[in-house]
Structure 1
Amino acid sequence: MQKFYGTGVALVTPFKKDFSVDTEALAKIVDFVTEGGVEYLVVLGTTAETATLTAEEKDLVIKTVIDANKGRLPLVLGVGGNNTIKVVEELKTRDLSSFDAVLSVSPYYNKPTQEGIYQHFKAVAEASPVPVILYNVPGRTASNVLPATIIRLANDFSNIIGVKEAAGDIVQAMKLIQHKPKDFLVISGDDMITLPMVLAGGAGVISVIGEGFPKEFSQMVRLGLERKVEEAYALHYKISDSIDMIFEQGNPAGIKEIFKVLNLSENTVRLPLVNVNEDLASRIETFVKKIS
């Protein structure tokens, strides 16, 4: 699974001012991050505002990314939810031939036990025709997938190849890295602690800020993987303030503000999300212009 070492980016879904999907802007963003040096693309994750997209819009986003990518980078599709039967049905019926893996979030809202989480992902693994990357993000799901559960899944199912670990807990990440099977990927889901995770033995990141600054962030991760610590941290500190800014008033409102400054897309988000306020928009614009 060398293709998933380095930087993957969680693509946004750009909207026009009338809230319709902006396929032209999405294609431009695919080109921007690809030319910036990222290693793979993640489609229809949380950052894509997937919860607000219709089935037809999801199909449109998928087609747009596949067409824009032109086979250049590996693709990962977000296929997850809190209804196990529905997730299994999508895995069995959706055409995944263009995708190298799926990213599947731990069930949210239901707050299952660790055994419930295990059984959910067991069903996912048995249904998926492509490799599965687990996604642990307790801040959104209200339940933490503990290292013991992830390692149990990794040992029991050969097609569960990694985890996007977004608990924001470096100690938990290190426990995963310490006890994981040899080829299992521990991928950061938290931009701010990506470099420490990589230096501890992680495989890289599925990033949001890497979409706004793909050249700098992907190079930082590569330097980390090469154990060039001082150079990697120089890049980390160069852009770290922007990581705080893009999450300050919610994701993807912050990253979309960066895209507006870069003239890649509008900053439109769909309710219940709203745009960042004028103060944050001004700070983001100043930072982008300083980096560019």
Structure 2
Amino acid sequence: MTIPTPLTGVVPPVCTPLTPDREVDVPSLIRLVDHLVEGGVHGLFVLGSTSEVAYLTDRQRRLVVETVTGHVGGRLPVLAGVIDMTTPRMLDHVASVTSAGADAVVATAPFYTSTHPAEITRHYRLLAAASPVPVIAYDLPASVHTKLPACVILDLAAEGALAGLKDSSGDLAGFREVVTGARNRPDVRGFSVLTGSELIIDAALAIGADGAVPGLANVDPRGYVRLDRLCRDGDREGARAEQERLCALFGMVRVGDPARMGGSSSALGAFKAALQLRGVIECAVTAEPQVPLSSEEVERVGKFLAGAGLL
């Protein structure tokens, strides 16, 4: 399908359920997609950070895209990450995910080596030239080590190389610069500005964001759809209360003991544990070498769910 311009609403970065032997659990993935669609989301983003894209083989990446696009059948737009270290590797991913049915691709800047703004510009132009579907930039400086400059994003938007931005930088001032530029520049049309920060969605929508890509929406899609609706209806108090409920629920990402695991293991483990506790996926395993949550930590995830009214 053709993605809306701009793309609006809640577009969860879909978790990738795995079997105990770390293969893609296709039945669980389909149940998760149904859970999200029934929750009222407005699109799906596969192969993002919450999808554990960096841990998946090329074969597994393609299976995820084929499974989701085949099951959704055009009911919602499906965005697919083409995240990798270099432009040539991302070009291979563009060919793979678009042939598997993705409606748009989501790309970071190259990483491993430092990248100059001129090289970032060239990178996105090469992806756009090769992609049969729109390209959305992914600002993820914590992992990619490069903050995408607003001027680069807006210039690429003006020339048609970029259709949108997913901003997971947490830099609300920089995000606002892109929102304002997309609104005020006459040469930028239909550009989607999406926040990936679960905790400030009400603020992002208030300054003009088009939508959100919250990982926690895997666990509570209805809550984020409700938050989006309250913001668009102008119910500031209702939106504030819902955002604060979701902020409290987000506390689950810190259940893992930082003395024995990284933040990614804790957060992704918590999301998957929550989905298993809610009966959506079969197994909460994360990809190697991430450390699994203990039974006590999973129990704490359950308490967060109960506190949010989800168990």
TM-score interval (norm. to shorter): over 0.9
SS of alignment partner, residue 47 of structure 1: coil
- 1:81 to partner: Cα distance: 2.0
Question: Structure 1 unaligned runs (5+)?
Answer: none
SS at match of 1:59: helix
CA separation of 1:199 and 1:48: change in aligned 2, threshold 3 A: same
Deviation at 1:9, TM superposition (A): 0.7
Give the distance between the partners of 2:212 and 2:138, measured in 1 at CA: 12
Summarize the Cα distance change of 1:146–1:280 in structure 2 as closer, same or farther, 3 Å threshold: farther
| Equivalent in the alignment of 1:214 | 221
Residues 208-253 of structure 1 show CA distances to partners (whole Å, capped at 9, x for unaligned) of 0111000011110122133322111111111211223226632422
Q: How does 1:171-210 map to 2 (within 5 A)?
A: 171-180=173-182, 181-210=188-217
In structure 2, the residue matched to 1:88 is: 91
The equivalent residue for 1:229 is: 236
Equivalence for 1:54: 57
Instruction: Give the CA deviation at 1:98.
Output: 2.6
Residue 97 of structure 1 and its aligned partner are, at CA, apart by: 6.6
Which amino acid letter does the alignment assign opposite residue 52 of structure 2? E
Give aligned pairs, total. 291
Shift of 1:94: 4.9
CA distance in 1 between counterparts of 2:303 and 2:222 reads 19
Structure 1 pair 92/283, CA: closer, same or farther in 2 (3 Å)? closer
Name the residue aligned to 1:245: 252
For the residues of structure 2 that align with 1:159 and 1:121, how far apart are their CA atoms?
A: 7
Cα deviation for residue 59 of structure 1 reads 2.2
The verdict on how the C-alpha distance between 1:148 and 1:201 changes in structure 2, with shifts beyond 3 A counting, is same
- Give the letter aligned to residue 173 of structure 1: F
* 2:153 is aligned with 1:146: no
Q: Which runs of 5+ in 2 are unaligned?
A: 183-187, 256-262
Distance 1:246 1:119, change over 3 A: same
Q: In the alignment, is the contact (CA less than 8 A) between 2:65 and 2:101 conserved in 1?
A: no
Contact in 2 for aligned 1:7/1:38 (Cα 8 Å): yes
Identity of aligned residues (%): 26
Normalized against structure 1, the TM-score is what? 0.93
Please, what is the CA RMSD of the aligned residues?
1.9
Q: In the superposition, relative to structure 1, how do residues 284 and 94 fare at CA in structure 2: closer, same or farther (>3 Å)?
A: closer
